[in-house]
Structures are given as structure tokens and as C-alpha cells.
């Protein structure tokens, strides 16, 4: 299960997110999204959990919980739509 984690502090590390989610199950991967030009965090990331049941429990337990002084927004990640955010080309 791929889980979106929003409203992250710019000081939050991948290890901090992993530690938070591992209390609810096995975490395969954590990715904090960064700006490709500056390398600075964008304030959101993704957590991959192998077991969907554990992922659902983690979302329910952690949504709204504070991490590094920020209330997290956590939900199941939706697939990226084709062409999202891009310009139309004719």
C-alpha cells in the first residue's frame, strides 16, 4: 500500500517517518519529496507498506498526529494522473 504523508515539517527526516509508521507494521520504503532544483523538502512524502491491513490501520491511527510540531495529513495515495500539472501541447 502506498500512503501519502502531507504537512511535514521541513526538518522531518525519512527515518523519523519510518519510526512513526513502524509502530503499526512493516515499512518497505519511505520517500520525502524534494524540489529537484534546490534539493529542499516540499513538505510531503510517501510510505510504502507491504501489508494493506497494516497500512489501513496506520492511516487511521496516524492521520492528524503531530510529528516535529506539525499535524500530519495521511491518506492512501492516489495514482498520478497522466498529464497532471503539465501544459497542453498542440
* pLDDT tens column, 10-37: 999 999 999 999 999 999 999 999 999 9
Query: pTM of the entire structure?
Result: 0.85
Residue 78: count of CB within 10 angstroms of its CB: 8
The topology (CATH level 3) of 2-76 is Alpha-Beta Plaits (3.30.70)
pLDDT tens for each residue of 24-76: 999 999 999 999 999 999 999 999 999 999 999 999 999 999 999 999 999 99
Query: Do 59 and 1 meet the contact criterion of CB atoms below 8 Å apart?
Result: no
Rg (C-alpha) for the chain, rounded Å, is: 14
Sequence ranges of the domains in the chain: 2-76
Amino acid at each position: 500500500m502506498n500512503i501519502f504523508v502531507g504537512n511535514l515539517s521541513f526538518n522531518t527526516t525519512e527515518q523519523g517517518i519510518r519510526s512513526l509508521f513502524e509502530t503499526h507494521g512493516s515499512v518497505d520504503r519511505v520517500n520525502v519529496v524534494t524540489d529537484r532544483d534546490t534539493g529542499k523538502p516540499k513538505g510531503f512524502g510517501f510510505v510504502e507498506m507491504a501489508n494493506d491491513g497494516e497500512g489501513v490501520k496506520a492511516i487511521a491511527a496516524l492521520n492528524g498526529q503531530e510529528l516535529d510540531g506539525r499535524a500530519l495529513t495521511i491518506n492512501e495515495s492516489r495514482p498520478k494522473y497522466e498529464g497532471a500539472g503539465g501544459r497542453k501541447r498542440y
